[in-house]
Homo-oligomer: A and B are copies of this chain.
Amino acid sequence: MDLQKHHKPTFDNISPEKRVRILDTATKEFAFKGFENANMSTIAKKAGVSVGSLYKYFENKQDLFLTTIQYSIQSMEELLNVLAVSEEDVLVKVERIIREIQRSSKENATLIKLYNGMTAENNPRFASQFAYEMEAMTARIYRIAIEEGKKTGDVRPDIDSAFAAFLLDNIFMSLQFSYACDYYKERFRIYAGNDITERDDFVVEQCLKFVKSALKK
């Protein structure tokens, strides 16, 4: 999982506080305004640094964006790693994932917005690069969980592990967006009622039922 650097060495030298301030500010700006509408001067001002400095740390706007995305991917990775290590049953894992999505979507909505924006960038430059970095991580976790499930007999052997992982991720990625992003949130309400975002246990229960049937023998 070798993340390419998209910043100049100078960015590694500044104080961690400043680094975090810049990345958090940039995350917010990019998440709420998108790549195009985000404004370098605004980011600089809000982060409490000069534009000049920003350009000392990053070659250009795109590189700040890429670094910001990587930062958010790392943050997500940290969240996911917690789930990855556990030795539990697939379905227990699924429940934990859903609950984690619900929790983090409230706490890290910005991160998810940013990630959502990224998935819609019609830009092959960005796309393939981050698809790999982001999805390689989750893909692995899901596939391993499913394969282990097959071994222990919790998961039926007649489905393709990789493809099932893909379908699971479809569900979870959409769910994640449904808690954090405008369009998806609205869609969530249309499908499941205006109060759906407050019925966390119901969501967990229904998802589990669906996934359990889908995977079980």
Q: Does the CB pair A120–B122 fall under 8 Å?
A: no
Interface of A is mostly: helix
Stretch at the interface among A19-27, A59-67, A83-91, A203-211: A203-211
Which bucket holds chain A's interface residue count? 35 or more
Cα A2 to Cα B31 with chains together (Å): 31
Copies in the complex: 4
Contact A128 B174 (CB under 8 A): no
B residues in contact with A213, CB < 8 Å: 156, 213-216
Complex CA gap A24/B25 in Å reads 38
A119 located at the interface, meaning its Cβ lies under 8 Å from any Cβ of chain B in the complex: yes
CB-CB contacts below 8 Å: A94-150 with B:
113, 116-124, 126-128, 130-132, 134-136, 139
Beyond A135-B187, A187-B135, A210-B167, whether A120 also contacts B162 by CB under 8 A is no
Q: Min CB distance, A200 to chain B, in Å?
A: 13
Question: Can you identify 22 A-B contacts, CB atoms within 8 angstroms?
Answer: A34-B121, A116-B119, A116-B120, A117-B120, A118-B183, A119-B120, A120-B120, A127-B186, A131-B186, A131-B187, A135-B190, A135-B191, A156-B213, A159-B206, A160-B192, A162-B193, A163-B191, A164-B210, A167-B207, A170-B171, A170-B174, A173-B174
* Pairs of residues from A and B, 3 with the lowest C-beta to C-beta distance, nearest first: A120-B120, A36-B36, A131-B186
Q: Closest Cβ of chain B: how far from A91's Cβ, in Å?
A: 13
Q: Would you call A43 an interface residue if the criterion is a C-beta within 8 Å of the partner chain's C-beta atoms?
A: no
